Amino acid sequence: MFCPFCSHEDTKVLESRVLDSSMRRRRECIKCKNRFTTYEKADFQLTVLKKSGKIQPFDSNKILQSIQRALGKVDDTIINSLSLKVERKVLKKKTNPVPTSYIGKCVLTELRKMNKIAYLRFASVHKEIEDPKMFEKELQTVV
Ligand SMILES: [Zn+2]
């Protein structure tokens, strides 16, 4: 970790605190003694494998957006907690890259627990990148 003030490469960690999806560390530069805070995201190096075969960095905002699209006007805290649950599940899988189909399934599971309408709405978007038979099966489980 380089010091943002003097670029010295050695800093001391004064305090670490686990936040919802990241680690906050209070650091002090050993050379210039300036203090600063860093946020380390556990999903930093996680990548996703798209159906097209393309690999791209994991972006929790995309989960958030797809949930938002499915749920429409809902309280932000609900969307955030849903998205966080999905993110934790994806991180727990410890596969890198993670197939987008797996992420989609996690979102579906969480949505189903919460709201049937939202679940169906998301599933109808999701089916475009998934096997239609799987979508049918999914539908049967809620209708
Ligand atoms: Zn420094």
Q: How far is the centre of ligand 1, averaged over its atoms, from the C-alpha of 44 (Å)?
A: 24
**pTM, entire model:** 0.54
CA 6 vs. chain centroid, Å, equals 33
Q: Residues with beta carbon < 5 A to ion ligand 1?
A: 3, 5-6, 8, 29, 31-32
How many domains would you assign to the chain?
2
Q: How far is the centre of ligand 1, averaged over its atoms, from the C-alpha of 105 (Å)?
A: 45
pLDDT tens per residue across span 63-118 = 888 877 777 777 778 888 888 888 888 888 778 888 888 888 888 888 778 777 77
- Examine the pLDDT at 29 and tell me if it is beyond 90: yes
Neighbouring-strand partners of residue 41 = 22
Same domain, 60 and 26: no
Is residue 4 included in any domain, yes or no? no
Q: How far is the centre of ligand 1, averaged over its atoms, from the C-alpha of 15 (Å)?
A: 17
Q: How far is the centre of ligand 1, averaged over its atoms, from the C-alpha of 69 (Å)?
A: 44
Please provide the average confidence, as pLDDT, over all residues in the chain: 79
Same domain, 35 and 51: no
Is residue 2 included in any domain, yes or no? no
Is residue 3 included in any domain, yes or no? no
pLDDT tens per residue across span 31-44 = 999 999 988 765 45
Range of the domain at 31: 11-41
Is residue 123 included in any domain, yes or no? yes
